[in-house]
Chains A and B, each alone.
Chain A
Amino acid sequence: MASVVAAKPAAAPLSGDRARSRRIVDRIATASLWTAASAVVAMLIAFVIYVFVQGYSAISWHFLTGYPQSAVAGGGVGPEIFNSFYILLLTLCFTLPIAVLAGVFLQEYAGPGRFRDLVQFSAESLATVPSIVMGLFGLIVFVQLFHWHFTALGGALTLTLLNLPAMMRVTQESLAGVPNTYREASMALGATKWQSVLRAILPSAIGPLTTGVVLVSGRIFGETAALIFTAGSSVSFGASAYDFNPFHTAETLAVHLYSTQREALVPDATQIANGSALVLLVMVLLFNVVARIVGRQLTQRFTGKAS
């Protein structure tokens, strides 16, 4: 075309080859996206069914509450379930205050600058450490250097290191979702920064914050590698295996699953492992469901939003 002025394009045809082929491409794309999304759901369902079929025959009241056995069949996982919750609780006690305060600092207080970059960089680096490496660090520091041996506390502190970055990120993102107008409104009413954080900003973020915390809790609950060498792979030998002493060894359910499968002498090791896997899976799924429900409830309660 020699003409500099572009010719007026022809009106788009209402039908014809071009329109048809575009419609076909659109359908193929829709179908592919739908298939990919369905595959995710299908995999989850298949996985749950598999674990359920494998494990359900092992489940009994005795299995859920009984003590583990070291040489004969018929051992339970009661103390392991207890230990999983106990270590989770200890971990949250350490993680939450540090992570929330650090997250508030980064999101609300720190202006751009070296210190904020340093904290952010440290958190991101910490987040990339594989859990087995963190476990070995815990082994060296808590077990050997402090001479604690395998303890619930050592395990919880190791998990704290492992999950601080995620918890901090959860806090930051929850706060980032709070509209700036709330901050302005609060400050304009003569609130100090800390009052604004405490009374306006954190309460507005309570829903996503809780959801995030419970989701991270699910991960802590299922963590294995970091605990094998720190909390140990046997339950407490104290008066009861249900033991609140943080300086006693405390094998969690996830570690039990691993150690039973790997090194147990009991004849029903596979069955116990399958049963443990099922219990673990159900617990972690529960965490996810609870996270959503509690998050929604708290949002409603603190914000009065009828959603």
Chain B
Amino acid sequence: MVEPQQSRLPALRSKMKIDDLNVYYGSFHAMKHASLDVPDRHVMALIGPSGCGKSTFLRALNRMHDLTPGARVTGTVTLDGNDIYAPGIDPVTVRHRIGMVFQRPNPFPKSIYENVVYGPKIHGEGNAKRLAEICERSLRAAALWDEAKDRLHRSALDLSGGQQQRLCIARVLAVEPEVILMDEPASALDPIATSKIEDLIGELKKDYTVIIVTHSMQQAARISDFTTFFLLGDLIEVGTTSEIFTRPTDKRTEDYITGRYG
């Protein structure tokens, strides 16, 4: 594959490498021959108009398509050089290392504490003291500790939408993934809650590789180091965020950035 855009990325260690990724829903070819290097400990934004395949691309990175009947994925996706689609790889362990935050906050109908320790528990941590430590550390990392510490055993569903989304991030952090995938995590939130999530993402990239789908170009510009543009199932262009927004090389990217695709 010719990937002239890749040369524009500064030389950074890649956390994930996606090569010739195709996703099909039945006979519909939803993602076509996408290749991308994701630098370690940076924020990569995936942008593009609705239906461009950015969420489809994201969900291929932790094998969520395995759960969708009729979905099929080809190509390679490597995490630290290991193909997560190779035969013999357990998707469950892949999802342990690559966490995901969804569009709508989806805490379990359990207490705040039980939500955070859900992951560690299923991975075998049974020690109450260690679980409490994990809970506090994860909530602090998700900037929710101060608001939640007095109500850990109350229902997570009583939290506001923005708090619920930070709880979902804490829940992901509790299993100590290396990569965090976010599928428009702030699209259901008000501006104040959104800015809290954005600040949080800025903190997270110190320790994690973040790949975030967003429909908001302003958000991509604010929070990401690199941006990838998708259109109609094609990966059009990737570059540093400032390049993509100021000097895109592809006419289609420019049209989208300047608002010609709505």
Contact = CB atoms under 8 A, between A and B. Distances in A.
Interface string B163-205: 0000010011001000000000000000000000000000000
Interface string B103-118: 0101111110010001
B110 A303 contact: yes
Given A304-B157, A306-B155, A190 B123 contact: yes
Interface stretch (A4-12, A196-204, A266-274): A196-204
Nearest to A192: B92
A189 B67 contact: no
A188 B95 contact: yes
B96 to A, nearest CB: 3
A208 B183 CA distance: 31
A210 B62 CA distance: 35
Nearest to B177: A190
A187 interface: yes
A219 B114 CA distance: 36
A305 B96 CA distance: 28
B158 interface: yes
A185 B69 CA distance: 17
Interface string A197-241: 001100110000000000000000000000000000000000000
A191 B155 contact: no
B223 interface: no
Interface in A269-305: 302-305
Interface residues of B, number: 34
A304 B110 CA distance: 5
Contact of A199 (B96, B121, B154, B158): B121
Contacts of A192: 92, 122
B168 A185 contact: yes
B75 to A, nearest CB: 21
B259 to A, nearest CB: 32
Nearest to B69: A111
B156 interface: yes
B49 interface: no
Contact of B96 (A181, A190, A304): A190
Contact of A182 (B106, B119, B154, B172): B106
Contacts of B67: 183-184, 187
A32 interface: no
A217 to B, nearest CB: 25
20 contacts: A182-B106, A182-B109, A184-B64, A184-B67, A185-B106, A185-B108, A188-B62, A189-B95, A189-B99, A189-B122, A189-B172, A190-B123, A200-B118, A203-B110, A204-B109, A303-B109, A303-B110, A303-B155, A304-B109, A304-B114
Interface of B: 62, 64, 67, 69, 92-93, 95-96, 99-100, 102, 104, 106-111, 114, 118-119, 121-123, 153-158, 168, 171-172, 175
